[in-house]
């Protein structure tokens, strides 16, 4: 499956595979394999969308990505929106900011979690923001 996905993905999009000796990434993220986790340019979790709302025929995934990209979800951010994409990508790939501890517990009754406070929303593009540990 890894090689098929790697073959089909657009150029420049990395595909990762967990090593058998690694700790389970889904457990570390407090997520399941069918969840969508959307991060902002600072590497902070903005949305956690769970099944069945993570099916792509629902509007939640696209709305979460658009809201994260177009809106000031994280509030006062030191990262300029015109920063180099490679720097932003590196920040999100290897972010070790302790989101797991601040994410809250996942519940099946809530389709979407917002930010590191774990606040639940019924639509991903609503207002509000999460607190960046570096800004607090």
CA 115/CA 126 separation, integer angstroms: 12
CA 59/CA 106 separation, integer angstroms: 20
The tens digit of pLDDT for each residue in 97-111 reads 322 222 343 333 345
Query: Helix, strand, or coil here: 4?
Result: helix
* Mean pLDDT, rounded, for 58-83: 79
CA 102/CA 21 separation, integer angstroms: 26
Contact 71, 126 (CB under 8 A): no
Does the structure show a pLDDT above 70 at 1? yes
Q: pLDDT grade, residue 38 (50/70/90)? A: very high
Q: pLDDT grade, residue 2 (50/70/90)? A: confident
Longest Cα separation, the chain:
43
Domain residue ranges of the chain, discontinuous segments joined by +: 34-136
- Which tops the pLDDT comparison, 95 or 75? 75
pLDDT value at residue 61 = 93
Does the structure show a pLDDT above 60 at 113? no
Q: What percent of the chain has pLDDT over 90?
A: 23
- Nearest residue to 60 via CA among 73, 45, 47, 72: 47
- Nearest residue to 65 via CA among 47, 84, 85, 44: 47
The alpha carbon dihedral of 99, 102, 114, 127 has a sign of negative
pTM, to two decimals: 0.51
């Amino acid at each position: 499956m890894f090689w098929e996905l790697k073959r089909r993905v657009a150029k420049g999009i990395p595909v990762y595979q967990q090593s058998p000796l690694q700790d389970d990434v889904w457990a570390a993220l407090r997520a399941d394999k069918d969840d969508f986790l959307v991060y902002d340019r600072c590497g902070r979790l903005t949305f956690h969308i769970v099944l069945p709302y993570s099916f792509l025929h629902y509007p939640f995934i696209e709305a979460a990505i658009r809201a994260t990209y177009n809106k000031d979800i994280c509030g006062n951010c030191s990262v300029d929106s015109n920063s180099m994409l490679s720097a932003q990508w590196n920040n999100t790939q290897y972010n070790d900011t302790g989101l797991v501890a601040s994410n809250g517990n996942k519940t099946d009754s809530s389709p979407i979690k917002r930010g590191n406070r774990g606040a639940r929303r019924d639509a991903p593009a609503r207002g509000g923001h999460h607190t960046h540990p570096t800004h607090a």
